Structure 1
Amino acid sequence: MRAVTVTPGTPDSLRLVEDFPEPPTDEGSVLVEALAVGICGTDHEIIAGHYGEPTPGSDTLVLGHESLGRVIEDPTGSLNRGDLVAGIVRYPDPVPCPNCAVGEWDMCRNGLYTEHGIKGLPGFARDRWRIPPKFAVRLDPSLERVGMLLEPTSVVAKAWAHVERIGNRAEWKPQTALVTGAGPIGLLAALLATQRGLTVHVLDRATGGPKPQLVGALGATYHTGNVADLDFEPDVTLECTGAPVVVLDVLHKAAPTGIVCLTGVSSGGRMIDLDAGALNRELVLENNVVFGSVNANRLHWDMAAEALAAANSEWLEALITRRLPAASYAEAYTPAGDDIKVVLDFAR
């Protein structure tokens, strides 16, 4: 069996193992044949040695947290042979913390969770994998080519769920949404915004390539330049770049009672001038809310599956700018400047 592995903490240790062991039954009762995995910035950071934890008793980690597969067997009867599924990435900690105890492992308070392909659990970049039924999400058959987008969609589904919960603190009828960044997370955030009937604006640095067309196909408006130059104040902002200047700008740009959700992770190490007093005054006097969001629980994964099933399949497939066979793993994990989503195809 093939598996893409790294040695966490060791830069450039990526390799394709041809004789990797079959997944043991203690990983879960559902046996799945891998179809594809999506590749994202987290994978690149693990490959660079910045973080990642091996599975217990090993010094290696199988990569891949954006999964898509087909059920081979499920002796519990929860799933049928041939069902299209994706695997939930994060598992609750064994203690558990109060949030993990009620299925909100995305809000884990003690950091003892584990994550497939990232932290202590083998990933999905292997020919076959196992998973417990409650962590397997059934997908509509129409998503056979694009179902690996479920994991990033679950992240923005959670973001929108929390935005809506916060918005309902008062009478709330949002009209306008701003998404900063037109990578996979940003484009999927825009998709879910359009599905909610909002007027959607997307801001990104790219002036060419597929991004403007993808945004336009959603019925949204594409912008380049600076947040400060936009001629509207968004009711909802999803910040998906992590760029410090952009983060600061969207805080200043929010409409009264506006909500800003930060999904981009900043690298740190860059200092910018900030009038903290003026920013505080704006946020307080306009009843703004700023919050961070990462990961997702089962509720959000199910919401994401519904959102993808309702989306235009051709638009979703256009997000995938490169699709390579598993044998070309090294090329797949090498970033290219015009990438949106790269997919490693185990069915080829």
Structure 2
Amino acid sequence: MAGKRVSLASLAGSKVEAVPGASRPELIHVHPNLVAPTPLNPRRAFDETELVELGEDMRNGQLQPCVAVNKTAYLKLYPEHADQLPDTCRYVMAAGERRWRAARQVGLSNIDLMLRHDLTETRVRFLAAVLSENVQRANFNPIEEADGLRAMLELHDGNQAAAARAMGKSKAWFNQRIGLLRLSDEMVQLVLQGELTAFRDMRRYAAMPPDQQYAAWKADQDQPRPSKPTPGSDAGERSEPSEAYTAVYTPNALASAPSPDTQPATDNPPVPGERTQLAPVSVEPDTRRDTAPPKQSTTVPSQPAESGRQPVMFPYHDAVFAAQLLSRKMPPDQLDLLTELLTEQRSRKAAKTV
């Protein structure tokens, strides 16, 4: 009696590849004409001058390879893109279109490609790779970003939480950005032309009815701009923050709190839409920090708050205390968004140093 055949794959503790090594990344060097960008890339604006500068830098070596997949495997995922890819194309890029354009701009004979066969397993996986590099860029246009997120949302049947998880982001982060799709055509043009750049303003206009957005923007432009202090003017003449925007420290923190005017300048560029100075908040004192009743001060405040508490600025100098205040008072979705923005700012700063 013939013995029963046993599949080697059934004996393996993990998935067995149909072709050994097919899922491993592979670094290759190819002519730029053999590569084409995916039509899924939402980024459309590329500065020609910057491309030339990048291309000249790449003559000395490409520090980061482009990420691509085989054209045949790509068309199995997206057969509708067959007419959009040139016949000479053998590889389709998931990330690195700017580097590819720069190489073509200056006539480089080859570029570095990292072949990622695993990216063609599902549409979600490939699109996540396309979007992940773009969302980390400081100069990625918010409208282009929202268009890319819409494609991811469609792959998840409109489920924002699932779409956000596929990108490793929070639902709040996803919701804030895809909401820009509610901007009218006139407002979209303002963003693309660089006339509307603050992310918080984009969100505010997007929350309005489409036929009211442009009129609201025009009205905001007609408002007089606050005058900047002239050099040599007395900084002490600036108006103090109102009581509604004060924070209350424990006595120990109050004694060491520096004036806002003495805060050191930072070289970090602001994230699009972030506030350049964090607005002070009103919180209750943290009684857990005090083990003994505070001593009465013999100094009478020059401008005491009506509530009897001395107003002081937000604790910019104390990250731990600031985090405690925010975690206690800020809504969870806004706290998630703040964490995302700070993480992105650090990533962008790190990318500029590479």
- TM-score after normalising by structure 1: 0.25
Which protein has the bigger strand share?
1
Higher relative CO (CA 8 A, sep ≥ 6), structure 1 or 2? 1
Which protein has the bigger helix share?
2
- TM-score after normalising by structure 2: 0.25
